Structure 1
């Protein structure tokens, strides 16, 4: 058995690839995997370096916490070394601030690409940006000690790292509003009951559960999974009749491919 290939190791992010499975690891447990603009750039780079052979992308974290969220140093006057502080960004032009936030969001957007299925393996705290990073993935397998919280509103901010859309689709408007506005913790039982977690297991079984799910996802032909994911992702924005049309078109592509008539 060969060791996974290391494609990226920078700013608290590691990307390794083992055949059809890529693993992105949050690798700063001493700071509970707190996030920063440098980490977000590394996450975006991981998405760009993902090889075409990858079918499943696993997001995991070292240590007891998945991610404690944004490193509060971002809000100090000095910010991070070599980075503008968030306070300086707020004093700048609207266009520059919007562009900077859009750059941060890139770290959270590629996980739902149709050609991959992403799984977040979440243990311990997943707070703020950590919660949003878990929400960026297609699926979440959680340890029974998981604690989700959206703390941005409590700090006078809003969740701006693409987390509001998946949160709303998973738990509905009323619960999403209550979770965000109160900043309270969502524990394992509620996470599984409301759909935030696809599966909750004892912490010692987290890695094994993710391996089993990965194997199940890889069992089906890749193109069929890609077409199915695209259908499900776009269904909410279509009418019933439009979805029927999309299903027919997708099935026609699959039948032609299976018959050896694909392009």
Structure 2
């Protein structure tokens, strides 16, 4: 949109605010490499999360080109690695403690999308492989084009999905299907994504931007505090016991009622 304000553009990531300041769009903008991911891109994604102004209510993740993200840039597995950083071959020679710190840093690019003060929407087209699949899973909601192809390929490379994708995948599709998807590395196409809950909505590719725009408008319609409280409740629902979740609901509703009646003023 012409009135978007660009806040960040580096390492294959662009962060822009719409004219109202309530919607942020994070764009993977290296279509020549099918938005392949690297530590530099993860650093830029982490920075985008830190830069979000407080008034942002919805963050949309999208990608330029025919593919959402082809996953990890295979340059990671060359002896040279990336400019300014070690190759994964080099990382593998480090201690477990060193690797834990490094991978935790990479994961920050994927964790901020779950914040309870905003709702995040991934607009996914074409291939979303490995790290690309996990980045889509990091968002609260996924609107997918009918050409979408999800796949988790880490296991076939002798690795595991380590960019925070295992928990949301298992929660969405169940343990058995998640295990099968990860171990076989097969493609999950649009129909299955919609049927299993990976996709909230599947639309023709030409309608993807419009569908995300409509969903964003609907997400902005209710009062922000009520939305944030509801997201927080749903984020804990599966982990809580019934008693704990019911107590959390009571506490959240009490906060809302006191706010609506001005009792907290």
TM-score normalised to structure 2 length:
0.98
2:220 is aligned to 218
Q: Deviations over 1:208-260 (max 9, x none)?
A: 00000000000000000000000000011111111111111000000000001
Shift of 1:63: 0.1
Secondary structure, in 3 states, of the residue corresponding to 1:96? helix
2:97 is aligned to 95
Choose which of 225, 230, 234 in structure 2 pairs with 1:232: 234
Bigger CA drift: 1-10 or 106-115?
Answer: 1-10
Choose which of 172, 178, 181 in structure 2 pairs with 1:179: 181
Q: Aligned partners of 2:263 and 2:157: how far apart in 1? A: 56
Aligned Cα root-mean-square deviation (Å): 0.9
1:207 is aligned to 209
Bigger CA drift: 114-123 or 85-94?
Answer: 85-94
1:24 is aligned to 26
Q: Aligned partners of 1:2 and 1:182: how far apart in 2? A: 44
1:12 is aligned to 12
Secondary structure, in 3 states, of the residue corresponding to 2:239? coil
Q: State the aligned residue count.
A: 263
Secondary structure, in 3 states, of the residue corresponding to 1:22? strand
Tell me, which stretches of 5 or more residues in structure 2 are unaligned? none
Q: Aligned partners of 2:201 and 2:139: how far apart in 1? A: 14
Question: What is the 5 A alignment of 1:75-86?
Answer: 75-86=77-88
Q: Aligned partners of 1:124 and 1:89: how far apart in 2? A: 31
1:166 is aligned to 168
Shift of 1:150: 0.1
Tell me, which stretches of 5 or more residues in structure 1 are unaligned? none
Q: Deviations over 1:75-119 (max 9, x none)?
A: 111101111111111111221111111110000000010000000
Secondary structure, in 3 states, of the residue corresponding to 1:58? strand
After TM superposition, the runs of 4+ consecutive aligned structure 1 residues lying more than 4 A away are none
Shift of 1:147: 0.1
Is the aligned partner of 1:121 residue 2:85? Answer: no
2:59 is aligned to 57
2:3 is aligned to 3
TM-score normalised to structure 1 length:
0.99
Secondary structure, in 3 states, of the residue corresponding to 1:243? helix
Q: Aligned partners of 2:95 and 2:162: how far apart in 1? A: 18
Choose which of 105, 108, 113 in structure 1 pairs with 2:107: 105
Shift of 1:207: 0.3
Choose which of 247, 250, 253 in structure 1 pairs with 2:252: 250
Q: Aligned partners of 1:100 and 1:122: how far apart in 2? A: 28
Q: Aligned partners of 1:64 and 1:242: how far apart in 2? A: 45
Shift of 1:2: 6.3
Q: Aligned partners of 1:78 and 1:194: how far apart in 2? A: 40
